[in-house]
């Protein structure tokens, strides 16, 4: 029996896949393609870091390697600067993935470039496959009649391909942002595929007041569309202004029964989530 550590993942994978070919009397090792992390790993990590600051948690995760190879996924949206700044202070080499759907506001692209330069980020700009766009969204209007399909080819597929390289992702989602994210834990299992990656939500328990204070303390530049009435910013065709007092994410896919783009599941639906009551995310 052979035992390996998968990457730096804390999960020991038992290569219990030996098989013996009797006629040659030799053993063949098969690579175990099972999930990297299990729901119990997420629960254990949530318990391990309960009561510890976001900075302590990030430092420990990066330095101890308990989550393996990590990438940060950022929308460069309304409050993205906070997480990007936090992470860049601990480790600037972490890959920062941006899903360049081809449908973003020009202000978002300019904001991305500004933050990349200011924080020294290691940006990975992901674009959809040209063939997928040609085959399924030739006129660029799929968002208007099939937003799930549009998100699938412009976000889900490119991210799925890129994330095959990593054991964990960092998301900027926050618990207070909407009622669909009010059960968000700091660590959860990424359910977008069967790989069992960890999804880390460092800002899960941050309040709006904490976010505002961090922005002031570190003099972080705001996304230019926030002051125009967009508290949550995604692709331009699917983002509307939000009135004072409304759910910040209510301006996303307005008029559609759609609350996430497909790369996140509503937090309340995540099985075995260790809900410490602190939760809520952002994309
Ligand atoms: S948010 Fe809208 S435009 Fe962007 S990928 Fe999804 S459906 Fe398409």
pLDDT in tens, 216-228: 999 999 999 999 9
pLDDT (average), residues 192-199: 86
53 vs 251, higher pLDDT: 53
Distance 234 CA to ligand 1 centre (A): 8
Task: Kindly state the percentage of the chain with pLDDT values over 90.
Answer: 57
Q: What is the pLDDT of residue 174?
A: 82
Is 219 exposed, middle or buried, given 0-12, 13-18 or 19+ CB atoms closer than 10 A? exposed
pTM, two decimals, is: 0.76
Q: Within 6 Å (CB) of ligand 1, which residues are found?
A: 101, 103, 143, 147, 150-151, 154-155, 234-235, 237-238, 261
Of 60, 44, 43, 63, the closest CA to residue 52 belongs to 60
* pLDDT of residue 266 exceeding 70: no
Cα 254 to averaged position of ligand 1 atoms, centre (Å)? 12
Pocket probe mutation, ligand 1, options 140, 147, 254, max atoms within 8 Å of Cβ: 147
Q: Where are the domains of the chain?
A: 1-34, 35-228+258-269
Question: Of ligand 1's atoms, which has the minimum distance to the CA of residue 236?
Answer: 3
Instruction: Report whether pLDDT(1) > 50.
Output: no
> Does the pLDDT at position 186 exceed 80?
yes
| Nearest residue (CA) to ligand 1, atom 5 | 151
Residue 21, pLDDT score:
34
**CA 122 to ligand 1 center in whole angstroms:** 24
Nearest CA to ligand 1 atom 2: 238
Ligand 1 atom 4: the closest Cα is on which residue?
235
Residue 33 C-alpha to ligand 1 middle, in angstroms? 32
pLDDT at 183 (0 to 100): 72
The residue contributing the CA closest to ligand 1 atom 6 is 151
Q: Which residues are catalytic?
A: 261
Q: Which atom of ligand 1 is nearest to the CA of 146?
A: 7
Nearest CA to ligand 1 atom 7: 147
Residue to substitute in 77, 136, 150 for testing ligand 1 pocket (most ligand atoms within 8 angstroms of CB): 150
How far is it, in rounded angstroms, from Cα 197 to Cα 7?
12
Share of the chain above pLDDT 70, in %: 73
**Separation of alpha carbons 45 and 241, rounded Å:** 37
pLDDT in tens, 144-155: 999 999 999 999
Among the ranges 175-184, 233-242, 245-254, which has the highest mean pLDDT value?
233-242
**Which CATH number describes the domain made up of 35-228+258-269?**
3.40.50.620
| Ligand 1 center–CA 16 separation, angstroms | 43
């Amino acid at each position: 029996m052979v035992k390996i550590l998968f990457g730096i993942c804390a999960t020991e994978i038992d290569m219990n896949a030996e098989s013996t070919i009797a006629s040659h009397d030799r053993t063949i090792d098969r690579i175990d393609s099972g999930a990297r992390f299990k729901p119990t790993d997420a629960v254990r990590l949530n318990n391990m870091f309960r009561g510890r600051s976001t900075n302590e948690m990030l430092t420990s995760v990066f330095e101890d390697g308990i989550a393996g190879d990590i990438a940060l996924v950022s929308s460069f949206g309304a409050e993205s600067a906070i997480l990007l700044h936090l992470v860049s202070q601990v480790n600037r080499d972490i890959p920062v993935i941006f899903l360049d759907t081809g449908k973003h506001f020009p202000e978002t692209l300019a904001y991305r470039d500004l933050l990349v330069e200011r924080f020294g980020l290691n940006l990975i700009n992901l674009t959809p496959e040209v063939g997928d766009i040609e085959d399924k969204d030739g006129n660029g209007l799929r968002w208007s009649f099939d937003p799930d399909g549009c998100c699938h080819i412009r976000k889900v597929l490119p991210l799925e391909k890129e994330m095959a390289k990593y054991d964990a992702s960092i998301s900027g989602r926050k618990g207070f942002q909407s009622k669909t994210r009010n059960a968000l834990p700091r660590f959860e299992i990424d359910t977008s595929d069967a790989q069992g990656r960890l999804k880390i939500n460092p800002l899960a328990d941050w309040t709006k007041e904490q976010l505002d204070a961090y922005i002031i303390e570190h003099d972080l530049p705001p996304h230019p569309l926030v002051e125009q009435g967009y508290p949550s910013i995604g692709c331009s065709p699917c983002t509307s202004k939000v009135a004072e007092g409304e759910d910040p994410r209510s301006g996303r896919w307005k008029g559609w029964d759609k609350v996430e783009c497909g790369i996140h599941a509503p937090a309340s639906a995540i099985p075995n989530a260790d809900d410490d009551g602190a939760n809520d995310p952002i994309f």
